[in-house]
Amino acid sequence: MSIDVKSVLDAFEPSLFVPQLKSKDKTGVLREMIDRVQAAGIVRDARLLFAMLEQREGLGSTGIGHGVAVPHGRSLAVPRLVAAFGRHQKGVDWGSVDEAPVHLVFLVLAPPLERSSRYLPFLGRIVEFVGDARRRDDLLALEDYEDFQEKMRVALG
């Protein structure tokens, strides 16, 4: 199943755009991003969500290389597919496959069951998007949420 550009863009919200992550490690970044999702009123139980993400990281790092991490999972704590984007200027150790620090974080969350089955295709589109070095550079230089949306729209369009 494929996922269209509009569906990808709809999963992101301005309040879930974090251009300056402040935490100094992976655990802190996960908490910081979950706090954003909770502040947006999307998460039912932030502790449950954090535990799920920690467990997922225990299975293997979601640091996919080239300075990118895509922590993800399914949880009853979220009612729908939702995604957050965060950028860390200095980078944090994520245990990535290439051992490079992570600067770009895409948090992807979905309920255990979703009628549209968009979760895996969504993850695929994100990985496809960040596979290009120029796109990663564009994300590092973003001005604001509108710029983020435009970069995604053009690249995935």
Q: Which residues are the active-site residues?
A: 72
The torsion of the CA quartet 28, 33, 34, 39, rounded to 10 degrees, works out to 120
In sequence order, what DSSP letters do the residues of 6-63 get, joined into one string?
HHHHHHEEEEEEESS---SSHHHHHHHHHHHHHHTT--S-HHHHHHHHHHHHHHS--E
Q: How far is Cα 125 from Cα 61, in angstroms, rounded to an integer?
A: 19
From the list 14, 91, 31, 102, the residue with the least C-alpha distance to 62 is: 102
